[in-house]
Structure 1
Amino acid sequence: MSNDQDLIKLYSARILALAADIPHLARLEAPDATVNRRSPLCGSSVTVDVSVKDGVLAAMGQDVKACALGQAAAAITAEAAVGAPLDVVETGRDQLKAMLKGKGGVPDAPFDGFEVLTPAVEYKNRHASILLCIEALAEAMATARTNA
């Protein structure tokens, strides 16, 4: 497969559609915690605000400045995470890392939408951007729990 065909596969219409429709883009007015993450390799960054009630993510807001893959990952994370407890978010994060390293399958529900990013396994320079949002979310939820 040529390099152009690899890139077309990587930036599929589904990934581009996710990147164009990221949920929860409005920042929260009074979050329980906020975390900013930046990928030094590509410069992508996310800021995630969380509101945690009774141990589950009640609301999130995010500011995403990332490539299409980072944006798609932020969309998948935001769609799946609201209503989830921290351990489910951490499991999704860990399973996504394993998937990207080629050491695991697609994350379990509710994060099974990351399946669309399986072509990115071959592009290690994109992994940090893909992980930004879910890592920031897990950190923010842990911080909110500690501050409660």
Structure 2
Amino acid sequence: MIDDLYSARILMLAANLPHAGRLAAPGGTGERVAKLCGSRATVDVTLDDQGRVIAFAQDVKACALGQAAAGVLGQAVIGAAAAEIAEARDALSAMLKSGGEGPIGRFEDLRVLRPVADYPARHASTLVAVEATLEAVNQALAERTRLAGAA
């Protein structure tokens, strides 16, 4: 069963992290830490006028599972709106914790992490990048609203 957990696909995703680093002037930043293992994701985003991600950077220090989730996220997040990211997070969480089918659409590749469901101690690290991304997008949206109200 451990071979399924660390499949070649998961290890490939973990090794190839798109958009690694930080943005110079992000519209929003999110950070999540998995308390059990210390996996950490810091994500910066910039949004377009419709609230979709147009720039994305991630600094992820996590196990192979957290890195793999961040790899999928980095491949698919450009063009995503907050609702899509929230749906992906909820579907990933349900897949890990309650036998859900997993994300659909642009984030469907997160389904490769289905074997993690059998390892509850690894759920939080698998979710850190997605949760940090949603936090960053929500922060960028809130800042936009604050600035519009101040104008």
TM-score, normalised to structure 1, is 0.94
Counterpart check, 1:77 vs 2:73 = yes
- Structure-1 separation of matches of 2:99 and 2:48: 33
Counterpart check, 1:135 vs 2:131 = yes
Q: Aligned letter for 1:137?
A: T
User: After superposition, where does 1:60-71 map in structure 2 within 5 Å?
Assistant: 60-71=56-67
| 1:26 to partner: Cα distance | 2.3
User: After superposition, where does 1:101-140 map in structure 2 within 5 Å?
Assistant: 101-140=97-136
Say which of 91, 96, 101 aligns to 1:95.
91
Runs of 4+ in 1 over 6 A off after TM superposition: none
| 1:103 to partner: Cα distance | 3.6
SS of alignment partner, residue 114 of structure 2: helix
- Structure-1 separation of matches of 2:11 and 2:57: 21
Q: Aligned letter for 1:88?
A: E
| Fraction of identical pairs, as percent | 48
Does the CA-based 8 Å contact 2:54-2:78 persist in structure 1? yes
RMSD: 0.8
* Gapped regions of structure 1 (runs ≥ 5): 1-5
| 1:78 to partner: Cα distance | 1.4
Q: Aligned letter for 2:21?
A: A
SS of alignment partner, residue 84 of structure 1: coil
| 1:102 to partner: Cα distance | 2.6
* Gapped regions of structure 2 (runs ≥ 5): 145-151
For residues 1-44 of structure 1, the C-alpha deviation after alignment (integer angstroms, 9 at most, x for no partner) is: xxxxx111110011000000010002100001111211110011
Say which of 24, 29, 36 aligns to 1:29.
24
| 1:114 to partner: Cα distance | 0.9
Does the CA-based 8 Å contact 2:92-2:111 persist in structure 1? no
User: After superposition, where does 1:33-44 map in structure 2 within 5 Å?
Assistant: 33-44=28-39
- Structure-1 separation of matches of 2:127 and 2:137: 16
Determine the structure 2 residue equivalent to 1:18: 13
